[in-house]
Amino acid sequence: MGYAAYGSRLGRSFRLDDPPTLVSLTANQHRLAVTELWCDEYDYGFTAPIVREDAFLIGLQLRGLSRHELWVDGKSVPVQPIVAGQSNFFDLTRDPIAYIAEPYHPLFFYMPQAAIDEVAEELGITSGPLVCRHGQMVGDSVIESLGKALLPALHAVQDSNALFVDHVLLAFRSHLARNYIGVRQYIAPLGRGLAPWQERTAKEMMREHLSDGIALATVATACGLSACAFLNAFKRSTGMSPHQWLIQRRIELAMDLMRNGDSPLSDIALAAGFADQSHFTRAFSARLGVTPGIWRRNIDKH
């Protein structure tokens, strides 16, 4: 399936192997696809970058999420709670990366711009990119119905629904062209991020000092940058500030300690680099929506 954002390639961005996928071809041999992703675990974390291409992912959300975050072109964008049955659009020229804190279950429809241009010409309408407001949810009963109609085919033991799949995906494409073609909102590049060696150096230094912390200026100097330049470049490269990145790593370390031992939360807080248990609880709850104690009890039940 190459580098197109569907099937196993999309699955790798979510650390999933060979998710259920259906593919269809247009008259001009452009690929349309739908991929089902799901994860029942909490604290999934960040998705991996998807290779940039002139295409869209339209996510039909089959499960609601109250806590998630989204970065586009390295910049955090406002998001709405995900409501089951609603959809959101992602422009793959804009490098969308998500942070997911709860179980999720979307269907992602893959629509290359060339396929949208093709159907626009067939329909006799002005072509163009889809209107794509990252982070906003759209209630569209047609998208929901077409997506749910494909669920049996996604789980069929035998691939005997090719014609049906073709009809549904082509109908989905026509619906998008008739209702969502518009002017794409481009954002000017924010400038350069860190070079690979700088990002690697910075992360290694901060990992080595998870418990005791490290001065921003020390890391910046090691990267050959001023503190201000390093702060801006790090955020462009990772989608978060060095402090946010460090807090996330500390939370991950604390989770490992809670999974693999029975130390008091106060000891775990200090071992993971938090000032005290109260600091640990505030940071953990802000990120995951539950306290460390509740999270640990839920883990113990499984």
- The pLDDT of 153-169, averaged and rounded, is 78
More confident: 218 or 162: 218
Average the pLDDT over 149-173 and give the result: 82
- The CATH T-level fold of domain 7-180 is Jelly Rolls (2.60.120)
pLDDT at residue 288 above 90?
A: no
pTM above 0.85, yes or no: no
Q: CATH topology for 196-301?
A: Arc Repressor Mutant, subunit A (1.10.10)
- Give 63-84 pLDDT, tens digit per residue: 998 888 999 998 988 888 888 9
Of 101, 104, 105, the closest CA to residue 255 belongs to 101
Residues of each domain in the chain carrying CATH 2.60.120.10: 7-180
The pLDDT confidence band at residue 187, using thresholds 50, 70 and 90, is very low
Range list for CATH 1.10.10.60 in the chain: 196-301
Q: Choose from 136-140, 172-176, 258-262 the range with maximum mean pLDDT.
A: 172-176
pLDDT, one tens digit per residue, over 88-99 is 999 999 999 999
The 10s digit of each residue's pLDDT in 188-231 is 334 578 888 899 999 999 998 888 778 777 888 888 877 767 88
